[in-house]
Copies of this chain bind each other. A is one copy, B any other.
Amino acid sequence: MPTGPPSDRVRVRRHPERGVYERQVIDAIVDEALFCHVAWVAPDGTPRVIPTIHARVGDRLYIHGSEASRTLSGLRTGIECCVEITIVDGIVLARSTPKHSLNYRSVVVYGVAREVTDPDERDMAQRALVEHVVPGRAAEARPPNREELRETAILALPLDESSAKVRTGDPLDPKEDLDLPVWAGVLPLGLVPGEPVPAANLRPGVEPPDYVTRYLRPER
């Protein structure tokens, strides 16, 4: 039997057949997505949402920000947040405009963010955030010094209350549209790296590492 939703608010209602509650599927989407969107309710009662990078370590999602950021200072008080992670895989072109769609994999997470204060967990989470964006980088770049560590706020959110929604495959045209002389199918889309551009002040003779020239999301 497939796994069910861990709470009512993460249950996929529109197109329930697209709902996935297996943590393995959720984790894979979280790990592949470069960044996420974090939403919360400001003290004045209005909604806020920002894009930010994230990293998953086991059952936890880490996000970070400047210690001075008003954004994270709101979340650090332990208020409820909602994280949405979205990967678009393609445009679904149907014979009729209302049947057009996107192929996508998305995850939603609800929970209360906790500020990470333990030095070891902070260190681990910072490495995980770098490795999430560029696997291999944390071993090569200079690690943060004490002052830089102090400037960064790190939050942890459990992945317990989460679900995924996945659409794949062809357009779903009604039978009576199938003979229309209109091309139908999927145009795949992906976040693709270009040629690395060295910094203008790069020390001569330093070549781009393999983890840059062969960058792939997810790492394969």
Contacts and interface: CB of A to CB of B under 8 A. Distances in A.
Contacts of A181: 203, 206
Given A46-B110, A97-B126, A194 B201 contact: no
Number of contact residues on A: which range applies? 35 or more
Contacts of A86: 35, 37, 51
Contacts of A84: 37, 49-51
Q: How many copies does the complex hold?
A: 2
Contacts of A95: 141-142
Contact of A183 (B102, B148, B152, B208): B208
Interface in A190-210: 190-203, 206-209
A94 B38 CA distance: 25
A39 B41 CA distance: 9
Nearest to A83: B49
Interface in A77-134: 80-84, 86, 88, 90-91, 93-98, 100, 102, 104, 106, 108, 110, 126-127, 130, 133-134
Interface of A: 9, 13-14, 34-35, 37-41, 45-51, 53, 65-66, 68-71, 80-84, 86, 88, 90-91, 93-98, 100, 102, 104, 106, 108, 110, 126-127, 130, 133-134, 137-138, 140-144, 148, 151-152, 170-171, 173, 177-203, 206-209, 212, 215
